[in-house]
Structure formats: structure tokens, C-alpha cells
Amino acid sequence: MKYPLMRNNITKSDRTSLINFLKKNDKLTQGPYVREFEKKWSKWLGVKYSVFVNSGSSANLLSLTLLKLKYPKRGEVIVPPLTWSSDISSILHCGFKPVFVDIDPDTLGMNTDKIIKKINKNTKAIFLSYIQGFNCLSSKLLHIIKKKKILLIEDVCESHGATFKNKKLGSFGWTSNFSFYYAHHMSTIEGGMVSTNDRLAYNNLLMLRSHGMIREMEDESRKNKIINYNSKLNSKFIFEYPGYNLRNTEIGAVLGISQLKRLDKNIELRTKNLNFFLDNLDDSFFYKDFLLTGSSNYAFNVVLKDKNKKRFDKILKNLDKNGIEYRVGSAGGGNQLRQPYVKRLIKFKNFNNFKNVEHIHFYAFYIGNYPDLAQKDILFITKALNEGAK
């Protein structure tokens, strides 16, 4: 592909950092560099605590496992059908009932008023996904969930650095989840982060990430109480919860520390690219009324205005011809309600209840945006799109 979804996300300086680390260290499993990365990430995001894990999907799973500890009798979690599969699968794995809400076209995230209509006495959390760098959080939603004492879990995997009222997304919720996959705003190759301001949640996350072992905790008072209560166990091997092994490595942390240094600059370049892309996209055929305030673009979203399958296929054919990579359906391949893992467990008869997600599923796709895209590259891409639509 002439224009892949991502390129040059691991730089020479990243490689130099790794080489220098490997020359001096032979312990590569989780250690001091992981803790350093977690602290630097927390400072960048504006939260108290962060836990580095092996993927954004693992971050999602840990957040829902935390929710299970808080609500052992389970309940409902409101979630969008347009998201990555692990948002929904983590809800299912942890025994909660997913309740789906349609999106707004201008943010690709859940519609606030529709979320509020779905809230009831069984609602334990709202799992917001910030799709492709757009913000869908609102003051109205924050007010309602505070009033009703409903937890907010933020999926910020595609939206590092996006803001609401000049505060970074991922700093509003009970927990927030990030991905450092290769194609995202910054990369540890594979990796993710869970962030929180809740000290109890943080210590539980430390345990859950590492088999449920209490030795991972930073709460010494709580740790000693558990040790004293379990006096016949080796204090180094007390498993408080049925946890996982979702740890990352020192190598991932060294990469993360290196990449974090240029994250803000990369976000600035991605945002500049998006504005130039939209300026040159033909609004006769393509939807362009996205809410850009506070956005931190992950990829160029291309949404056909009309339900014109012939035109849509012609556009894709022209992209293939010009070596431009794309993903149909936007985040997660479109409507997750159409996926086998959901259809086996939940029966949906009327997809028209999710008209906006359905339109994205059949008539939208995204194209890679990355910091080293030049304006001439973006003009080449928009020309291919505009010509394909005619």
C-alpha cells in the first residue's frame, strides 16, 4: 500500500532507547521502567494512578472485572454498538448485561439523550467509547450519572489527548482504558493502560493484573491485614482475587516513555491533517459535520451521505487502485450487533433502532492519519475519494 493505515510509528529514537536499555539490563519483565511509565502517563493524563497492561482489550477487561468486584450481583452496562469488540465482550465475560445505544453522526459516540433514556435501577455503569478521536462526553451526562451514582468507564483507546472543556478524556471516569497498539497515537507495539483516581480501584488493578497476588499492592495497611488473616500462607503467594496475567514488559515501558515525549506534537499534527483533509473533501457526497472541538484524530473518517451502494463500491475500488488502505465500518468493523459473538447471546430483530450505527456499518470507512503525512499526500487521498464518488 502506498498509504497504509499507519507508518513510521516506531522511530529511530525509540529504537535507540531500546538498544541502550538492552545493553544495560537483562531483566525484561515488569519492573522499574513500567512504574516510571505509569507515573509519567498519569501526570500527562491528569490522574492519580495508572496500570500498564499488555493491551487495550486487557484494560477493558480489568475495568469490567473491577466493576464485578464492586457489584457482585452484576447489573446492566450501557455501551455503544459502534466500538471495539472487547468493550462488549468484557461486559459479557464479567456477567453484566450490555444495553446498547445508538450514536450521533457528529461524534460517532453514544447520544447523550438516548443514554439517559436507558438508565434504570439496574444500570451500574456507562461505558463510553470515544471513536476515532472524537469526544461524545457532555455536561448533561456527567450531571446525570453523578446524581444517580452511576459509574463512568471511558474507552479512550483511539483518542489519546482528546479533551472535553480543556480536560483530557480519560480523566473523567471511575476508570479509563487506553491502547498502545502499533497504529494508535502512540505505541508500545502491543500494550494498554488503565487509569483511575480511586485508590481502592488502583490497588485492586495491581492485583488483578498479576494473578490476584497481594504482593503487587501499594496499600501496605490492607496488605498486612490480609497477611495476618492468612497466617498459614506464604505472604509472597497470597492470591486475594481470581486474577489474570496481563502484565507488560520493561521493553514496552521503555518504548512508552520514549513515545510519550512526542505525543502532544503528534496529536497536533494529526489534528492539522484532519482539518486539511476535511477542507478538501467534497461535501456533495461526504458527511463533514463532525464535532471537532477537543478532537484528537486517530484516522480520517469517510462517511457517505447517501445510501448508495454502487457509489460506495466505486469509491473503494478507486482507493484500491491508488494504493490507499482503508477499513470499512469504522471502529471495530461497524455494528457489533451483527457480529457472531453477540448474535449467539442476544437476539436483535430490528437494526433500525440503531440507524446511525447501521449507516456507518454499510456506508463508512476510515483511512490512516499519521504525523508524517504531507499535504500533498492528503490531496492525493482526497482526490481519489472525490473522483471515486462522481
**Bridge partners, 49 (sequence order):** 196
By annotation, the residues acting in catalysis are: 184
| CB-count exposure of residue 37 (10 Å: 0-12, 13-18, 19+) | buried
**Rounded Cα–Cα distance for residues 171 and 163 (Å):** 9
Query: Cβ of 133: how many Cβ atoms within 10 Å?
Result: 28
Residue with cell 437494526: 351
**Rounded Cα–Cα distance for residues 41 and 52 (Å):** 9
C-alpha cell at 213: 497476588
Return the HEC string of the chain. Answer: CCECCCCCCCCHHHHHHHHHHHHHCCCCCCCHHHHHHHHHHHHHHCCCEEEEECCHHHHHHHHHHHHHHHCCCCCEEEECCECCHHHHHHHHHCCCEEEECCECCCCCCECHHHHHHHCCCCEEEEEEECHHHCCCCCHHHHHHHHHHCCEEEEECCCCCCCEECCEECCCCCCEEEEECCCCCCCCCCCCEEEEECCHHHHHHHHHHHECCEHHHCCCHHHHHHHHHHCCCCCHHHCECCCCCECECCHHHHHHHHHHHCCHHHHHHHHHHHHHHHHHCCCCCCECCCCCCCCCCCCEEEEEECCCCHHHHHHHHHHHHHCCECEEECCHHHCEHHHCHHHHCCCCCCCHHHHHHHHHHHHHEEEEECCCCCCHHHHHHHHHHHHHHHC
| CB-count exposure of residue 151 (10 Å: 0-12, 13-18, 19+) | buried
